[in-house]
Amino acid sequence: MGISDLIASFLQESLDEAENGVLEVQRNDLAQRFNCVPSQINYVMSTRFSPERGYIVESRRGGNGYIRITRVQVDRQTLLMHVINSLGDRVDLPSARAILSNLVHSGALSEDVGRALLAAVGDKALGAVPRENRDSVRADIMKQVLILQV
């Protein structure tokens, strides 16, 4: 397990124990705890605790800087619309995999739909599409299928 996984697991466990789904931590304390640079904490925040994953992260830098993570509870339709609107023009395969995994985990998509959509946007299914166009085709497919799920 890598350092990012350890940090993310610690934060997730702390968030699960926190009242009202809000966790406030000191960036420097976390960096010292995991013997890493503060930018590693920033990386974990941006990749593991994004709005697409159901979190709002507020940050204040400086000596008394903190990170506040809030778990957002939204209904299925709102979550799907947020993901559709945040997809953009291009989605790489690892991002598509993470987004779909989060949607299945949150209950916004059934496991069968998530698996089918992942197969549809995978590199095997997009084999006839030139590599430089796959991420934009992947985004278009994901948006259209997710719109049907709303």
| pLDDT tens figures, 62-109 | 666 788 998 877 788 988 898 898 888 999 999 899 889 888 988 899
Domain that holds residue 133: 76-149
Strand ranges across the sheet with 22-25: 22-25, 66-71, 55-60
What pTM did the predictor assign? 0.64
DSSP annotation string for the chain: --HHHHHHHHHHHHHHHSGGGEEEE-HHHHHHHTTS-HHHHHHHHHHHS-GGGTEEEEEE-STT-EEEEEE----HHHHHHHHHHHS-S---HHHHHHHHHHHHHHTSS-HHHHHHHHHHHSTTTTTTS-HHHHHHHHHHHHHHHHHHH-
pLDDT of 63? 65
The verdict on 30 and 65 lying in the same domain is yes
Task: Count structural domains, the chain.
Answer: 2
CATH, residue 31: 3.30.56.130
Who's near 149: CB < 8 A, 6+ residues apart?
Answer: 80, 108, 109, 113
Residue with more model confidence, 88 or 115? 115
Assign 122 a pLDDT band (cuts: 50, 70, 90): very high
pLDDT tens string 37-55: 988 988 898 888 877 677 8
The verdict on 60 and 85 lying in the same domain is no
- Name the burial class of residue 58, with classes exposed (0-12), middle (13-18) and buried (19+) by CB atoms within 10 angstroms of its CB: exposed
Residues 112 and 61 sit within 8 Å (Cβ to Cβ): no
Least confident of 71-75, 114-118, 133-137: 71-75
Average pLDDT score over the chain: 90
pLDDT exceeds 90 at position 111? yes
pLDDT exceeds 90 at position 59? no
| Across 107-121, average pLDDT | 96
The verdict on 60 and 80 lying in the same domain is no
pLDDT of 8? 93
The verdict on 23 and 65 lying in the same domain is yes
pLDDT of 19? 80
